A and B are shown apart, each in its own frame.
Chain A
Amino acid sequence: MRNLDSALLALLILASVSLAAIAQEDINATEIIERMENLMRSDSAYTEMTMDIVTPDWRRSLEMRSWDDRAGKRSLIHILNPARDRDTTFLRIDYQLWMYLPRAERVIKIPPSMMLQSWMGSDFTNDDLVRESSLINDYTHELVGIEEIEGLPSYVLNLYPKEGAPVTWGRIEAAISVDPFVPVRQRYYNRRGELDKEMIMSDIRDVGGRQIPVTWTMRTTDKQGHATVMHIERIDFNVDIPERIFSQQYLRNPR
């Protein structure tokens, strides 16, 4: 009887703390998202990273660097390795995407028909590169509660697309670890409510002055045994990016 009483009491305390926490944070589901975005993004950034593509039968590894001008909706991705793909470069301006094919010495603009194809063989699509949606502005946010995700107690939020938002997902479930405050998992559900993709963020490091996860693993539900793993080597947040980067000339000659 006494043990039961203690247990009940402990439960009550935990619940009220959680409730208090939630109550304190409930109206701040949006704040959580905002805070996360502010952590992970900046108006401009220079990134160096590797991307491992894993399948049951084989795997590949890419090294690349990119400049991202979020405010100006421009970005450039330059593949450094391996040799086969070296100097393949992508330039995005607004909703348009160009690709430089070094062996052919040609630039092609990626037509709508190609947009949903895999980007460089990864679990990402070309479309993902030009996607403009903002987790903050294009979604409504709902805090579900706190759960243990990937070993860390995390805020679990449901993000629902707003009316008219340029978004393909039916719902995103975002899990952000409470302490340290970093995203740990995002699950992407299609409009039928089925889980389509899942991204796990791990390996929290100090990069560019921030504590962020540097390993991002993307898995697609349909493709068992496949995964795309990104390792961030370096990020410079809020850098000045020279104008010449986002140009056709640089696209053709990215060095």
Chain B
Amino acid sequence: MLLKVENVEKVFSTDHIEFKALHGITTEVGKGEFVVIAGPSGSGKTTLLNIIGTLDNPTEGRVFLDDRDISDLSESQKAELRLRSLGFIFQAYNLINVLSAAENVEYVLQLQGIAKADRRNRALELLKAVGLEGLEDRRPNQLSGGQQQRVAVARALASEPEMVLADEPTANLDQATGRELMQLMLDLNRDKGITFIISSHDEMVIEHARRLLRLLDGRIIADVRPE
């Protein structure tokens, strides 16, 4: 199993209030799956995604990535993990503003110490794969929302991660563009076997799910594979 989530709880506390965002989440995701975590705002889907992505720590419970307990890792090790094994796509403002599309994609490769020539080629390849050939040297502010998300996808794939996590990737896009993005991700999942875990409350996204985890008030209320 690629990902195992065991009894994960998350409590957010401030001075006056404690808020339990996740109650005893347990689930597994296998390699090559295309999972959508669906639920209304506040249902905990972003929180869960963050925990899976090592961006946040569970208050209780454990997460295993490739049978490795990620809760035990130091910050530095988590960063390393994120760098090599995970890909992230966020809702918006995904990219580093001062770098071009290609440079954004190259960024993760640079962090890994990959040589310039190889980096450049790979970046161009990936940008081509997401349909952005010719736009490599454009800065994010010179790209549309959809194009920016495509760059994010390309970047997420750059380090050949085991898993790509996308948090509300279509939220800032119009329907048509959103669809295109979903299709892209599905194609990559099918063609390259890359595991996707996508959180969204968008019906259109949910439509595309090959496996659907429904969350409500921090609990999994459904786990289905709509075929």
Direct contact of A and B (CB under 8 A): no
Interface residues of B (CB under 8 A from A): none
